[in-house]
Amino acid sequence: MNTLAGRYKIIRQLGGGGFAVTFLARDNLQPSKPLCVVKQLRPNQSHPRVVEFFEKEAAILEKLGKHPQIPHLLAHFSENEILYIVQEFIEGQDLSQEIIPGRRLSEDYATKLLQDVLEVLSFIHSKGVIHRDIKPQNLMRRHEDGQIFLIDFGAVKELGSLTVNSQGEVYSSVVIGTSGYMASEQKNGRPCLGSDVYALGMTVIQALTGVLPSNLQEDPLTGEIIWRNQVQVSDRLAEVLTQMVRRHFSLRYSQAAEALQALTVPPTILLNPSVEQVYRQEARNRAQQGLGNFSVFALKILESKRIELGLSEDEAREIHEQVLKPYREYQQKLQEYEQVLIDAVKQHYPFNETTQKDLQDYQRHLGLRDEDIAAIESRVVPQQPQYRTMEIQTELFEFEFATLTVKSGILEATKTWEINRIRGRTKFFTENLGNNGIVLEMVAIPGGEFLMGSSRDEPERYNSESPQHTVTIQPFFMGKYLVTQSQWKAIAALEKVNIQLNPETSHFKGANRPVEQVSWDDAVEFCARLAQETGKPYRLPTEAEWEYACRAGTTTPFYFGETITTDLANYNGKYAYGSGPKGEYRGQTTDVGIFPANPFGLFDMHGNTWEWCQDSWHKNYNGAPADGSVWISDNHTHLLRGGSWNINPWNCRSAVRNCNARDNKYINVGFRVVLGELSN
């Protein structure tokens, strides 16, 4: 089964269940040869009811048509008496990579997720379809733009095919779903639209609390889920979620559209004008003192005033929103100016008089203060490097790197591999991080040219890795290791530059383990504090610098060669790449430097944790700079490279590109630092 229907070339298996198996494939009849997902009904599953369910899935996908949050149905056919469904491939990751047990996500994250999924679920419910298996694993976030997709319609059931008994109850003889996310009526074989509402509510509660639905307590008398004691959220979001997960479906929102309306339509509030005026003035005073925010003390004072005046919490919250609105609008204007300045730097820097005048006119148009503009310029406009005259004393160090070569076998399925270990040497210098004995080792990376991206014949590549293009890189220094937790704590103890840093942010503890659960903003702050302490402008690598340093002169998928093993890197060894072997899945980070380096003397460039880069996300390399410089557009979603401990091997390749919002933090994301060329 190499090619199906004369066009769909199978690349690898993605997963499988009792009735069907899914494959990643490439459509060779399309000019761009896009990736797609092929679902095959298992050949031994020929029972008429099983075939009926499989064909009904295709019929429902066709009925749903094209929706921007549902993978499109591309084909449905039979070949050699086996049924197949072909769908659009979504390049991204499912939300089980974000919604992780033990980790609480913000209310903003939860609200946005809830609204995004309710929108697509409202569309599905309007077509009379129940999904019946909503959970983090069936929600995909597309890398390109962060869009949420609802996947796996293998469990759906049209309302028209359900049965009504003599008591008027709706039921189905087939129980499909996932324990913990399944409503009581669904467990009893009687799913309804409200069952999807329940499952989504449990998913969002898991995101907020970090507790698996099956581990949440139930009221012993009513059977209702107890979750409000796990996390502090606004009353409004709490009320919506609580109604979504009521035990009996008659007490829930009957369908997604009702929950969406409750979430998005603000309640009408009537206030006593005199009471409102007193409270509003107090809120204005506190907002002015807090420069557009309410401090913890201000909120306590306002709460006392609210009780004194007899205002409800909703009434007070409405006044807060109105008082803070002008500050938020001003912040929005600052963000608009920053984006324009970023574009101007990209296209016109260094600025001539015309560009400078245009920026000043735009500042006046928006009504922005000079001091605020100065702060933005300090972040965005390149500073003249002051460090090139500094002298860095380097020394040589020796290291071991490895390559994988075929030991035996000619056919892909019969190949075995052996590890060849080679001695290397290069220059490095040591940066002392205070008087605590903790140091940062920086390896000299020589300048040169390389081919960035992947070729069209590289197995399991993504379109975001195209087009391949030549990039010229200037010499620089790069951290020998991912930033460790001991290094992180040393820098987190230094004076703040822009934001606070949590010294104990990591989930997996260990002084020599890589720091994780750090956002892009955190990593930038680390670099800023390190630069302030040492007088050297440390920063994150550009995406081109990172790939150049990772490849270290190689052109294969990994710097080890055509494949990878868990003897050489920390990744999810339950999966294999190409003809390589499966291996160990450690399920956590490991100490840095325990695996062989690459030929440049850098460790853990494949796996352990993803690594932040300076650049913002672009869906491909069209328009990418050829000089290795940073490539920024929206300055909100930034690049991640290298793969991690819980990622499959093909997503640890040298060319793989990933991204996340700059303020997101995950237990599989860290970083390493670089420094521009210095004299030595």
Cα(20)–Cα(1) distance, rounded to whole angstroms? 15
CA 650 to chain centroid, in Å, comes to 17
Cα(496)–Cα(522) distance, rounded to whole angstroms? 11
Give every strand in the sheet of 82-88, ordered side by side: 3-4, 8-16, 20-27, 35-41, 82-88, 73-79
The C-alpha torsion from 525 through 530 and 531 to 535, rounded to 10°, is 160
CA 311 to chain centroid, in Å, comes to 41
Residues 6+ apart with CB under 8 A from 423: 398, 399, 400
Q: Which residue type sits at 499? A: I
Which H, E and C letters describe 615-630, residue by residue? EECCCCCCCCCCCCCC
Catalytic residue, candidates 27, 94, 116, 133: 133
> Which is nearest to 60 in space by CA: 78, 85, 23?
85
Our answer to whether residue 133 is catalytic in this structure is yes
> Which is nearest to 185 in space by CA: 117, 114, 250?
250
Task: Indicate the DSSP class of residue 284.
Answer: H
User: Vertex 63, ends 61 and 67: CA angle to 5°?
Assistant: 70
Instruction: Please count the helices (runs of H) and the strands (runs of E) in the chain.
Output: 14, 26
- Cβ 477 vs Cβ 444: under 8 Å: yes
Cα(439)–Cα(446) distance, rounded to whole angstroms? 22
Cα(181)–Cα(334) distance, rounded to whole angstroms? 42
User: CA torsion sign, 543 to 553 to 432 to 594?
Assistant: positive
* Biggest alpha carbon–alpha carbon distance for the chain: 88
Residue 476's SS3 state is: strand
- Number of CB atoms found within 10 A of residue 183's CB: 26
Q: Which residue type sits at 389? A: T
Active-site residue set: 133
